[in-house]
Amino acid sequence: MNALRIGLVGLGTVGTSVWNNLRSQEELLSRRCGKALRIEKVAEKDRERAREAGVPESQWTSDWRDLALDPSLDVVVELIGGTGIAADLIRESLFHGKDVVTANKALLAERGKELTAFAAERGRRLLFEASVAGGIPLLLALREGLIANEILSLHGIINGTCNYLLSAMASRSLPYREALREAKELGYAEADETLDVAGHDTAHKAVLLSALAYGFWPRLEEVHTEGIQHIDPLDLHFAQELGYSLKLLAILRSHPTRGEIEVRVHPTLLRKGHLLSSVSGVFNAVAVWGDVVGETLFYGRGAGGDPTSSAVLSDLASLASGEVSAREVTSSSVRQAALSLRPMARIFSRYYVRFLVEDRPGVLAEIARVFAAEKISISSVIQPEGHRGKTVPLIVPLIVLLHRSREADVQRACRIIETLPTVKEPAILLRVEDLEPEEEQAS
């Protein structure tokens, strides 16, 4: 039987899982692909790590260049991460006639447009199913399963660390720091959690989803990104009382008549009745609206060795069976040129805004006048009971829910309200998403 000859670079958690699972699933994959999938060489700087994984001495090298230059290999799997050596590895492998499979979301978010174009120039393929949502075959679904659809919107919980933290804070009323300590003890958060909790990991994945769904690579630094590190448990409590769950979402939405794509990442309130709002713990989920199929939901483990290796093996199987879709990112250069990123100031949303105000007559009227002046409609106002502090005058929370409004108008109104003498702290603002596709609005 013919074989797909594979070079594997990196034996970290994911690389070791790929090495183990490819061998354990070898017979199944060969039967389904009509071709054997065989790792011929492994590059790993740490010889002891390679030995512990069971890599024979004859297949091991410490230098990734040995794989990139080897004419006997068909594909190189890059699992070392980072944006330096990994980029050189991918370019060299493509240059020397190999396809590449990677899970490197950070590198692709920064240089994906360049690397996929280079792959196309060399007549090779760069596949990255494992880079978003771990074991969920999301990119494959966008590339193939939904090929008959224009993608109207995507709303994704695609960082398990953040979802675990928000779930723990909401369900057990844990302070952020305590939830983070617990997540680190359980191995759900890195020693330096910044990439996850500040929203950067989610933003990397949002860029890749935009490329797959719309053929559009937004500049990573232009994607509006907010994290969860400043979420106040008080707002989680009020959100639950109002019938909402708080999730860190990647939100993508097309505006075809204007040639614009929204790509943004921030904490978001979702109605508890929607399935996405019930996703808890370290799980990922993405709701995708297509113009033909309507809403679809993809759910599963978004990280970890085995789920991510499953996605890597999926890409390898596609290469082995010759079933890589013609609807690849590299075919979208014409469309890319016709699209632009919608500025955050011009997005429309509903809003939850919490002020800390003096409890005296006329405060609400002052706030309402500012919103009215900006043509922003208030849907409801709540002053929760049980917050009757001991100061004189009393300082209490005031929650205002707003109808759909433009971001710039809401931000401007909040800045004006914060200057009122009866308002004691900057406003806490959270966006509220209705997942259904929306009509174009003047902006």
* Cα–Cα distance measured from residue 267 to residue 263, given in angstroms and rounded to the nearest whole number: 14
Angle at 139 between CA 135 and CA 141, to 5 degrees: 100
Question: Does residue 424 have an active-site annotation?
Answer: no
d(CA 100, CA 97): 10
Instruction: For residues 121 and 123, give the distance between their C-alpha atoms in angstroms, rounded to a whole number.
Output: 6
Q: How far apart are CA 205 and CA 211, in angstroms?
A: 10
Is 396 exposed, middle or buried (CB count within 10 Å of its CB: 0-12, 13-18, 19+)? buried
Query: Is the separation of the CB atoms in 396 and 431 below 8 Å?
Result: no
CA distances from residue 15 to 113, 306, 310, 363 in whole angstroms, order as listed:
25, 10, 11, 59
Question: In a 3-state reduction of DSSP, which class is residue 330?
Answer: helix
Q: Is 55 helix (H, G, I), strand (E, B) or coil?
A: coil
DSSP line for 338-359: H-EEPPGGG-EEEEEEEEEEE-
Provide the 3-class DSSP secondary structure of residue 443.
coil
Candidates 35, 205, 247, 390; catalytic one: 205
- Catalytic residue numbers read 205
